[in-house]
Amino acid sequence: MKLVVGLGNPGKEYENTRHNAGFALIDKFGKSQDFPEFELNKKFNARISKGSVDGQDFLLAKPQTFMNLSGETVRAMLDFYKLTPDDILVVHDDIDLPLGKYRIATDSSSAGHNGVQNIIDKLGTQKFKRIRIGIGETKEGILVCRIDAHNFVLQKFSKEESEIIEKISEEILEEIKKAAIHL
């Protein structure tokens, strides 16, 4: 069993926001692999979908704890299913990467991402695999340092930004599949 966790905030007001890029890509991944609809699991305080890809069983999870407490859900699921940090893949937004880019990371710090930091704190390790989805703003090809990062990540994607995310989503879905199968 492998666990793929998309990070975001629950509720209609957060749909299509930059901070919910993890939720959006986990939704797309589930649909692309014919997983059932996500259902609320109160035990884990998460929306969960179970399925398999290439014979490997997967749990897709979207914590409903709000971003900064995502580690509570991840820890509870690892304990219940007797998984280790090597069995998880976390998909999340990253303001330090330009929009339209992504990176795969293992054993790296949270770089100030509170949801990732909470997972690190709850697991007692940063040695788990992540796909970081760039949401950062650029001007003339240079990443803009945002003082108002909190407000920026909670804003909805513009139409143009959504198109950029859509263009790279197929590539990211393949990376989710490859990364999760090889956990």
- The catalytic residue positions are 19
Please identify which residue in the block is written with the tokens 């304990």.
79
**Maximum C-alpha span of the chain:** 48
CA 44 – CA 77 distance, rounded (Å): 7
Single-letter residue type at 69: L
- b/e per residue 130-165 (b: at least 16 CB within 10 A): bbbbbbbeeeeeebeeeeeeeebbeeebeeebeebb
